[in-house]
Structure 1
Amino acid sequence: MLGISDKVLEVCSELILSEKHLNEVMERLRKEIVKGLSKETNETATVKCFPTYVRNLPNGKERGKFLALDLGGTNFRVLLIELGGDNREPTKFKMQSKIYAIPQNIMLGPGEALFDHIADCLATFIIENSMKREVLPLGFTFSFPLRQEGLTKARLVTWTKGFKCAGVENEDVVRLLKEAICRRGGAEIDIMAILNDTTGTLMSSAYRNHNCKIGLILALWLSMIIIQDVEIDVCAVLNDTTGTLMSCAWLNPNCRVGLIVGTGTNACYVEKLENVGLWDSDYNEPAKVIINTEWGAFGDNGVLDFILTDYDRDVDEQSINRGKQLYEKMISGMYMGEIARLILERLTKDGHLFNGQGSDNLYKRGNFFTKYISEIESDKPGEYQNCRQVLEELCLNYITDQDCKDVRYVCEVVSKRAAQMAAAGVACLLNKMGEKSVVVAVDGSVYRFHPHFHNLMTETINRLADPGIKFDLMLSEDGSGRGAALVAAVACHNRTGPGNHRR
């Protein structure tokens, strides 16, 4: 490549994926999805493909007030959302929210402490917003792998994203939340539904685009909690991909896929019940259900070893979940920056960057943040203002324009591979569904803030999707919040009929 140092090109070459590589990734993912959907092979499948029990997408006419809880990282949100029943009118959507920090000692402590913290935040929010004598359906976006056993029952499969709370894995997270609220006193809970946030993302987009059929997220819905004279009707649990899908579906009726590319990555999509061997409920219309793929674990059985690099293996070796979530570690924002840092460290120590003069900051694990990649790639061609600022923050000297050009190239290679791997996953889902026009709801910090991620994904999907399939990548607005509310709205509507939730 013109202007890039030969050694930089050589070192980065192993991260460059050919069309043959990407097609092989798609085929291997397709096989893993089929295994996940089958009752006979699900137990040993890496891509679990959990049914979310969410079968109805929003139609844009949902009305009422809804609470949403959003847990998926170092912050936790409580939201009060009001839907006005007309998805074409932005003024018909109102939202109040507050962010509460989750200290690391809670992230790594006993599960009881985590759910007590969630219950405290919910109670504080209700008090601060003077919510009295209301009946509010509630949705809980729980952005971690869940094995759904119904809309209101889901067991945590494994912690991700730096969480390691004891006593939660394999437990019903709805029950744990109920117990935490009961410990607070004055709470009565009746659970109605559980789903993941990718479904919410899809649902939010489908509200506007009825072709939205793929989504990424996880959330949780409970029913009949009484706090401060407010009856909270918990309807479902879901993850952020489900929420992403639901949020987009609220705006777009063609939404059928939900995708998250942020701290982690996951996807959900709408599947025919006849293809879901795990399905244990009725086959009434609509004979489809949103599937939470949990595709971050794709490759945990070795099927991606053919494209793993030494940098990927190093990142995995140093992670708290060694040997797990390998596909996610090639794509998500939690790991992209570290992959780039490892490459820069090698090039510097070999004397090919910064005149061989590194810094403690560059050599410190986790110190090259993924946001640096977005900032560096935001520089105009031939300009290196952001790049120099980042390198100066890392206390690097001897920075030449050639160094900046080479550093930018390293970032481009890492982010392009991530976008192509995510795109291969989406193309696999599109080809499996076989629908001619689909909106893909997408959320997550990497997709939102990287200057070229959308275009890189679009270009790659165009090459990989079957001929005749049309698609749009649509940014899903607040899938984990609005998506959770929409899951609650749809669940409540289906339970009570057109009158929406009780008053």
Structure 2
Amino acid sequence: MSETSEIARLREFLTELIPNEDQFQRLYRNFCEQIRKGLGANTNKEASTKCYLTYVQDFPTGNETGKFLALDLGGSNFRVLLISLRSNHDAEQTSKIYQLTEKELLGKGSELFDYIAKCLHEFVCENKLEAENLPLGFTFSFPCVQIGLSKATLVRWTKGFNCADTVGEDVGTMLKVAIARRQGLKIDMVAILNDTTGTLMSCAYKNPECNIGLIVGTGCNACYTERVENCERLDAKYKNKPKIIINVEWGAFGEKGGVDHLHTEYDKIIDKNSLNPGAQIYEKMVAGMYLGELVRLIMLRAVNENLVFAQCKLRKHITDILTKKPNCIETKVLSEIANDKGDDWPLVKEYLKKIFNLNDPDIDDCMKFKYVCDVVAKRAGNMLGVTLSALANKVGEKFTIIGVDGTVYRCHPNFDGYMRETLDQFIEKGIRYDIMLSEDGSGRGAALVAAVVQRENA
């Protein structure tokens, strides 16, 4: 980007969205303190990162065999999967996606689970599995307190869900009851887990050195393997095994401070306008549900301050769209224009036409729009790298694989590099890491947990 006076003004305008080393150091210290509190029996209530016990303590060897079902619920659609495991890390997968309407997203919890059971039944019949009694792993990607491997109490809905009569209830039991109401459906739900745990397990199936799972998609969360002696809230009967997966629920980081020094006015507006104001503060700064909206808010202010589209004849039209159409800039735009380069900026032009009906935007305006998108994505990736390094240092292994899934990570060509930039800066000497893209972690991982449960109970 050529450093014209206009670009220099834009850079200065965006300074608060470009954290410096001291701000990242503070983020690292604050996050480590929240992890410490989350693990403690007497301090857990004070922690924003609750560090939930998953009760997943056994890991795949790669030699598991058999057929297993997986249910993956974490967004406005859900998937049912049939995973056929063969020895030597080999697996065959069949899956189907089912859409959720506003009725299921915002209605009664019992209606949501009845609909899921109905779709499970359809899937079983379509795949001619009626005669088989199959174990099911249930990926449920919302904050829960795990009270056993197949029991989890919902703490809060996120990502657009708000089903009545569900918060505080055991979602594992709700699913089992809904399955039992379907005559002829023989499914044994043996494990409930978060999508981060599924991602970790999926990658551990391929590489046993995977100790961290990360999701960067619509929402954002991480899990990691912790030594049982560090888990003060873990009952003694579970301490005969060396490790347990901890579901950090780091989307809630910042609810009790910790990111205030990075929280801009744009972030505060995002939070205020969300379905859950005051909650999931960290997630709203780094996850796909919010990055496009952050760009919209920044662009609105930039246009009003004559930093972008200052000479454009459709300037008022652009301002009206940015003002009156929340979410008019989708997060996928950030990913799809990331590799666009001057001098012509064809992808940026395509999106400016789609969003604002601009047929021939000024080249400088194209460059500025892309720069705003890049700044928002880079801040998210850099922040995640800082908190990932804290988990890698906590794991303490000489080499750790970080298993990653989610549309933001998968689709943004620079996101991996943004994370590594701060990971390299904050990871302790003597610890090496690599990042591994999960093969359908949240689905396959659930089936793998079910397979491991069957193996251990055999």
Count of residues in Structure 1 that have an aligned counterpart in Structure 2:
449
| 1:274 matches 2:229 | yes
Task: Tell me which residue corresponds to 1:433.
Answer: 395
Which one of the candidate residues 24, 41, 44 is aligned to 1:42? 44
**Contact 2:297 2:322 survives alignment (8 Å):** no
Task: Tell me which residue corresponds to 1:501.
Answer: none
Task: Tell me which residue corresponds to 1:349.
Answer: 304
| TM-score, normalised by the number of residues in structure 1 | 0.87
Query: Which digits, 9 at most, give the CA deviation of each residue in 1:297-337, with x for residues without a partner?
Result: 00001221111111101111111100110100110000000
Q: Which amino acid aligns with 2:48?
A: T
Give the 5 Å matches for 1:211-222.
none
* Local SS of the residue matching 2:205: coil
CA distance in 2, matches of 1:395, 1:423: 34
CA distance in 1, matches of 2:24, 2:111: 43
Give the 5 Å matches for 1:393-472.
393-397=354-358, 399-472=361-434
Query: Which digits, 9 at most, give the CA deviation of each residue in 1:221-240, with x for residues without a partner?
Result: xxxxxx1xxx3232100010
Unmatched tracts of structure 2, length 5 or more: none
Which one of the candidate residues 172, 180, 183 is aligned to 1:182? 180
Q: Which amino acid aligns with 1:99?
A: I
Query: Which digits, 9 at most, give the CA deviation of each residue in 1:29-65, with x for residues without a partner?
Result: 1110111111111123110001100011111111110
**Contact 2:152 2:192 survives alignment (8 Å):** yes
Give the 5 Å matches for 1:187-202.
none
CA distance in 2, matches of 1:400, 1:141: 47
Question: Structure 2 vs 1, CA of residues 236 and 106 (structure 1 numbering), >3 Å: closer, same or farther?
Answer: same
CA distance in 1, matches of 2:342, 2:428: 34
**Contact 2:121 2:182 survives alignment (8 Å):** no
Q: Which amino acid aligns with 1:39?
A: A
CA distance in 2, matches of 1:16, 1:438: 28
Give the 5 Å matches for 1:364-403.
364-397=325-358, 399-403=361-365
* Local SS of the residue matching 1:147: strand
CA distance in 2, matches of 1:457, 1:350: 31
Query: Which digits, 9 at most, give the CA deviation of each residue in 1:80-134, with x for residues without a partner?
Result: 11011111xxxx3111111000001210111111011101000010111111322
Query: Which digits, 9 at most, give the CA deviation of each residue in 1:431-465, with x for residues without a partner?
Result: 12221100000000000000100111112201111
CA distance in 1, matches of 2:236, 2:167: 25
Q: CA RMSD in A?
A: 1.4
Give the 5 Å matches for 1:101-120.
101-120=99-118
Q: Which amino acid aligns with 1:337?
A: G
**Contact 2:397 2:431 survives alignment (8 Å):** yes
CA distance in 1, matches of 2:291, 2:239: 43
* Local SS of the residue matching 1:421: helix
Query: Which digits, 9 at most, give the CA deviation of each residue in 1:235-255, with x for residues without a partner?
Result: 100010000000000001110
Task: Tell me which residue corresponds to 2:73.
Answer: 71
Query: Which digits, 9 at most, give the CA deviation of each residue in 1:163-198, with x for residues without a partner?
Result: 000111110001111221233335xxxxxxxxxxxx
* Local SS of the residue matching 1:112: helix
**Contact 1:79 1:96 survives alignment (8 Å):** yes
Task: Tell me which residue corresponds to 1:83.
Answer: 85
Task: Tell me which residue corresponds to 1:195.
Answer: none
CA distance in 1, matches of 2:88, 2:427: 33
Question: Structure 2 vs 1, CA of residues 272 and 2 (structure 1 numbering), >3 Å: closer, same or farther?
Answer: same
Task: Tell me which residue corresponds to 1:24.
Answer: 26
* Local SS of the residue matching 1:393: helix
Percent identity over the alignment?
49
Which one of the candidate residues 253, 256, 262 is aligned to 2:208? 253
Note the C-alpha offset of 1:468. 1.4
Note the C-alpha offset of 1:23. 1.5
